[in-house]
C-alpha cells in the first residue's frame, strides 16, 4: 500500500521554532488518480488544521499518456474498462463517492489535458491551481464527466470563474491551454516526476527547514499523515482546531459526507 522513508536534506540549516516552522509539501498526483481522490478527506483536514504554516506545491504526473502505452502492472490495468474495478475498490476502502461507470460509458483517453489545465490555472496563482484540481476531480469523480475532453475542461474553468474565484482570468486560461505555457509547466512537472522516480500516487514529500524530508506514498489514514508531520515538527498542534463542523463545511466550496465524517469522529 504505502511506504514512508527519509530523504536527504541539509542538516546545517538553522532550527526554527517548531510551532512556527513552515511545513512544505510537494504533492505528486493526477486529476484521474482515484486514490488521490480517496485521500481528499485526510488531505483537506491537514490543510485546514495547519492553515498558515502549510505550503503545498502540486506536481502533475501525467498518469495516463494514452491507452496505447499505459500499463499498471500493480492493478493489472491496460485497458479503460479495467480501471472501473480499481475505482470501485478505492471508493469502498475510503468511503468517498466515485463514478466508476465512466470507464465503461465514456472512458477518458488521457490525463494529459487535465494536467495541463491544472498548470494553466496555477500560472495565475498556486491557490487557483489547487482549487482547480479539486474541481476537475469533482467533475470526473462525482459527476462522471470526461475531463479528457476540451469542452468539459472549459466548462469546469467557467464554473471555477463564476463560483470559486471571480478574479480568475478565463481568457488567459484559454490562451495558456494553447500557447504552450501550460504544456511547458506540465513538462517541467513530468521531468521532476521522472527524476524523483515517482511512480505511485498520491505521493507526498514533506519537509521543514531543519529535518530530512519524509516521502509518503499511497492512500493512508489521517493518523499516519499526522505522525509524519509530528516527526518533522514534534511539538506541533493544530493551529486551527476543528471544533465546529458547520464552520469546517463552510470553509470549503463543496464537501462530501465522507470528508465531514473524517473530522466529525473527533467531535
- For residue range 159-215, list pLDDT tens digits in order: 999 999 999 999 999 999 999 999 999 999 999 999 999 999 999 999 998 889 999
Are 231 and 6 contacting, i.e. CB atoms less than 8 angstroms apart? no
Comparing 82-91, 119-128, 206-215, the range with the smallest average pLDDT is 206-215
What average pLDDT score do residues 93-116 get? 98
Q: C-alpha grid cell for residue 218?
A: 499511497
Are 121 and 160 contacting, i.e. CB atoms less than 8 angstroms apart? yes
Find cell 509530528 and name the residue.
230
For the domain spanning 3-264, the CATH number is 3.40.30.10
pLDDT confidence of residue 127:
96
What average pLDDT score do residues 80-89 get? 97
Residue with the bigger pLDDT between 223 and 73: it is: 223
How many angstroms separate the CA atoms of 205 and 197, rounded? 13
Q: What is the pTM of this model?
A: 0.91
How many angstroms separate the CA atoms of 116 and 253, rounded? 23
What average pLDDT score do residues 54-83 get? 93
**pLDDT bucket at 265, cuts 50 / 70 / 90:** low
Comparing 6-15, 91-100, 255-264, the range with the smallest average pLDDT is 6-15
Percent of the chain past pLDDT 70, that is, above it, reads: 91
pLDDT confidence of residue 19:
46
pLDDT confidence of residue 136:
98
Q: What SS3 class is residue 76?
A: coil
Are 100 and 91 contacting, i.e. CB atoms less than 8 angstroms apart? yes
Contacts of 46 (CB under 8 A, 6+ apart): 54, 222, 225, 226, 229
How many angstroms separate the CA atoms of 69 and 74, rounded? 15
pLDDT confidence of residue 267:
55
Q: Is the pLDDT of residue 20 over 80?
A: no
pLDDT confidence of residue 145:
98
Amino acid at each position: 500500500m504505502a511506504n514512508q522513508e527519509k530523504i536527504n536534506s541539509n542538516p546545517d540549516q538553522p532550527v526554527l521554532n517548531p510551532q512556527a516552522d513552515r511545513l512544505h509539501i510537494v504533492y505528486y498526483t493526477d486529476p484521474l488518480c482515484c486514490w488521490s481522490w480517496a485521500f481528499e478527506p485526510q488531505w483537506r483536514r491537514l490543510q485546514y488544521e495547519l492553515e498558515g504554516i502549510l505550503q503545498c506545491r502540486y506536481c502533475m504526473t501525467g498518469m495516463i499518456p494514452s491507452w496505447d502505452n499505459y500499463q499498471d502492472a500493480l492493478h493489472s490495468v491496460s485497458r479503460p474498462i479495467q480501471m472501473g474495478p480499481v475505482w470501485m475498490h478505492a471508493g469502498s476502502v475510503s468511503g468517498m463517492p466515485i463514478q466508476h461507470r465512466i470507464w465503461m460509458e465514456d472512458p477518458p483517453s488521457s490525463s494529459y489535458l487535465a494536467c495541463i489545465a491544472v498548470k494553466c490555472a496555477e500560472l495565475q496563482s498556486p491557490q487557483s491551481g489547487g482549487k482547480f484540481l479539486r474541481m476537475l476531480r469533482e467533475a470526473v469523480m462525482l459527476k462522471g464527466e470526461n475531463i479528457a475532453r476540451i469542452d468539459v475542461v472549459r466548462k469546469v474553468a467557467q464554473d471555477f470563474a463564476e463560483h470559486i474565484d471571480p478574479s480568475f482570468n478565463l481568457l488567459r486560461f484559454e490562451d495558456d491551454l494553447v500557447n504552450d505555457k501550460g504544456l511547458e509547466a506540465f513538462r517541467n512537472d513530468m521531468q521532476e516526476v521522472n527524476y524523483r522516480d515517482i511512480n505511485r500516487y498520491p505521493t507526498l514529500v514533506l519537509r521543514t527547514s531543519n529535518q530530512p524530508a519524509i516521502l509518503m506514498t499511497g492512500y493512508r489514514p489521517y493518523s499516519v499523515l499526522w505522525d509524519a508531520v509530528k516527526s518533522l515538527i514534534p511539538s506541533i498542534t493544530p493551529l486551527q482546531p476543528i471544533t465546529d463542523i458547520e464552520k469546517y463545511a463552510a470553509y470549503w466550496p463543496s464537501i462530501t459526507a465522507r470528508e465531514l465524517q473524517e473530522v466529525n469522529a473527533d467531535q
